[in-house]
Amino acid sequence: TQLLEQSPQFLSIQEGENLTVYCNSSSVFSSLQWYRQEPGEGPVLLVTVVTGGEVKKLKRLTFQFGDARKDSSLHITAAQPGDTGLYLCAGARAAGNKLTFGGGTRVLVKP
């Protein structure tokens, strides 16, 4: 059982549709990060959230950190083919701790 559960595991949508990826845990995290990874490349950091209830926007991407700092979501509005990739959430239980990764959500946006 993973400490961080991501859902869904795979998502296939048409260009222009919206999507949401969830990252859930029974544990509290001091910070949580979202990454996007494309095949054959390393993960690229999208955002770091540290405050419960925090909402951050990055163009068409909206990230939310749960009030209890146990869960997070990533919402993409009007998805584009360039949004295709593996989305990973990762959390640190405390400052200075190693990151725990979720299982990843593979997103495919069809033109």
Partner 1 sequence: GAVVSQHPSRVICKSGTSVKIECRSLDFQATTMFWYRQFPKQSLMLMATSNEGSKATYEQGVEKDKFLINHASLTLSTLTVTSAHPEDSSFYICSARAWGGSQGETQYFGPGTRLLVL
**Angle at alpha carbon of residue 38, lines to 31 and 24, rounded to 5°:** 35
44 contributes a contact to partner 1 by CB under 8 A = yes
- Contact predicate 22/34, CB 8 Å: no
Q: Applying CB under 8 A, which part among 13-21, 43-51, 61-69, 74-82 lies near partner 1?
A: 43-51
Strand order in the sheet with 55-58: 5-7, 19-24, 71-76, 61-65, 55-58
The 3-32 site mask, x for binding partner 1 (CB under 8 A), equals ---------------------------xx-
Cα 69 to chain centroid distance, Å, stands at 14
**Shortest approach of partner 1 to residue 68 CB, angstroms?**
18
72 contributes a contact to partner 1 by CB under 8 A = no
**Angle at alpha carbon of residue 44, lines to 5 and 19, rounded to 5°:** 50
Q: Applying CB under 8 A, which part among 11-19, 59-67, 76-84, 89-97 lies near partner 1?
A: 89-97
Distance CA 93, CA 85 (A): 26
Interface residue list for partner 1 (CB under 8 A): 30-31, 33, 35, 40-45, 48, 50, 88, 90, 92, 95-96, 98-99, 101-104, 106
